Amino acid sequence: MIWIVLYIIIGMLWQASVAVRLRNTELYRLTHRRMFIVAGVAVVGMVLYFFRGMFGSDAVAGIVGFWLVMVVAFCIVWVALIAANVFSAARYGQEWMTFRNRSLGGMVLWPVGILSVEKALRSEIVLRVECLFSSQTRKWPLARKNFSDLRNVRLRSFDHDGYKIYVQCNPARIISTTAKIDKDSIAGRKCFLCPANRPKEQDLIAWRDYDILVNPYPIFDPHLTIPCREHQPQLIKSHLGDMLDLAHELKGWAVFYNGPKCGASAPDHFHFQAVRVANIPLYSDYENLEHEDVKENVVRIKDYSREVLCIEGSRGLVIETMENLYADLHYDQPDDEEPMMNVVCVWTGRKWRLFVIPRLTYRPSQYFEGKYVISPGTIEMCGVMIAPKVEDYGNITLDDILDIYRQVSYVVGV
Ligand SMILES: [Zn+2]
């Protein structure tokens, strides 16, 4: 009997350690109520079992014993659920809830379940990112404050032609929105993406030549910045393969790129960013709206307020098509080192989707006239206008937004 009790205690401690590491993550939020209920039942069961002599009758001891068996069963289900969630998230990204029950069947053995979670926590980037968020938003005051402010963020929405465009009031983004990106300003400041100049509280996950970091000035929760370790210019061409591979590993996330003159506040240091796919309206707009062919393997979203092209398929096809598209765009904008664009990459579970958003300008006339402090980067082009100033958030109209999109978009082939 003592061995069974020891087994349960060790198992529960191990579970607790997994739970602590997953604290505040999306997976944890979805399972924590169950965890507490089961843990509560388990503790009461154990206490009753140890004090069963006080009840003095075999019948009561029998009931308590039965309860203990139930507790063990509960524990198995609990771990199975966590394991299933973890695995489904790793394998299927945003669709993990759908697959939860399918994975459940394979996870019924208790220690095997925990071991699987442990392995996944060490090897799956998508889970390590969850844990990075969990620890950074606990230990780093700036990240904690800005992510907690994001929970009360104000959001307006406009309906237009069968889809929605949002405006988010986000005062913390003023630094990024008004960032000076001219050569002198860039040369005169310390690069905040270089490892030597990053805040000391900022932890990272190393991935190839990149460091995956929590963005301390988020637009969405969670929000990652993924700079190269080396200081090198923001030019996407040689990083396309990495972008696709990263999107493949970060299932359920959209990896995106702001061109050096299209929203990147560090145009001198190569970086991607990433947010959850569910946060960007563009992704569902693409699924719900009609498309039309632009070039071979390139479609555009039809009657959309801004030009959004999409390349869909295998890794080789997406890279090859993108290189051709890049060359075409560069032909139209030969003076710049890179044609102006925002790029978003998502792994759908079966293939890649690369959204290319060609740009004509970075900031609209309203910015220079002092009417609105809005500088469209990828997130704005994906359908969420970020207004750092409260009055802009209140005043902006749908017509203003459509006008901004018209000014900053570059329509291909016209
Ligand atoms: Zn740098």
> What are the tens digits of pLDDT across the range 90-109?
554 444 443 344 444 333 34
Are 159 and 54 contained in the same domain? no
pLDDT digits (tens, 9 = 90+) for 13-57: 776 777 677 766 666 665 556 566 666 766 776 777 677 666 666
Residues 70 and 160 in one domain: no
310 within domain boundaries: yes
How does the average pLDDT of the chain come out, rounded? 85
In this prediction the pTM is 0.82
Looking at this protein, which amino acid is placed at residue 154?
R
Give distance in angstroms: CA of 367 to centre of ligand 1: 27
- Point out the domain boundary residue: 123, 139, 165: 123
Cα of 373 vs centre of ligand 1, distance in Å, is 26
What pLDDT was estimated at residue 226? 98
Closest CA to 372 of 404, 402, 398, 341: 404
Question: Number of structural domains, the chain?
Answer: 2
Residue 128 covered by a domain = no
Of the candidates 120, 113, 110, the residue with the CA atom closest to the CA atom of residue 75: 110
235: CA distance to ligand 1 center in Å?
A: 14
Same domain, 181 and 116: no
179 and 112 within one domain? no
Confidence of residue 244 (pLDDT cuts 50, 70, 90): very high
Residue 145 maps to a domain: no
Ligand 1 centre from 111 Cα, in Å?
Answer: 45
The pLDDT assigned to 248 comes to 94
Residue 211 CA to residue 228 CA, distance in Å, equals 6
Give the end of a domain, one of 70, 103, 123: 123
Same domain, 162 and 276: yes
Paired with 256 in beta bridges are: 273, 344
Distance 227 CA to ligand 1 centre (A): 8
164 to each of 123, 239, 271, 283, how far by Cα in Å? 37, 31, 28, 12
**379 in a structural domain:** yes
| Cα-to-centroid distance, 173 and ligand 1 (Å) | 20
What pLDDT digit, counting tens, does each position of 352-374 carry?
A: 999 999 999 999 999 999 999 99
Report the distance separating Cα 214 and Cα 198, nearest Å. 11
Each residue's pLDDT tens digit, 151-161: 889 999 999 99
DSSP letters of 70-100?
HHHHHHHHHHHHHHHHHHHHHHHGGGHHHHH
Q: Which residues pair with 283 in a beta bridge?
A: none
Give the pLDDT band of residue 306 (cuts 50, 70, 90).
very high
The letter for the amino acid at 159 is D
Tell me the CA–centroid distance for residue 210 and ligand 1, in Å.
Answer: 12
236 torsion bin: left (phi>0), alpha (psi -120 to 50), beta (else): alpha
How many other C-beta atoms are found inside a 10 Å radius of the C-beta of residue 212? Answer: 22
Shared domain for 169 and 119, answered yes or no, is: no
pLDDT at 95: 45
Q: Which domain holds residue 287?
A: 154-408
What is the C-alpha to C-alpha distance for residues 329 and 345, in angstroms, rounded to an integer? Answer: 18
Same domain membership, residue 276 and residue 342: yes
- Tell me how far the alpha carbon of residue 184 lies from the centroid of ligand 1, in angstroms: 15
Residues 394 and 292 in one domain: yes
Q: Collapsing DSSP states into helix, strand and coil, what is residue 241?
A: helix
**Could you tell me the end-to-end alpha-carbon distance of the chain, in angstroms, rounded to an integer?**
79
Beta strand residue intervals within 105-193, DSSP E: 154-160, 163-169
Domain end, chosen from 107, 123, 139, is at 123
Confidence of residue 111 (pLDDT cuts 50, 70, 90): low
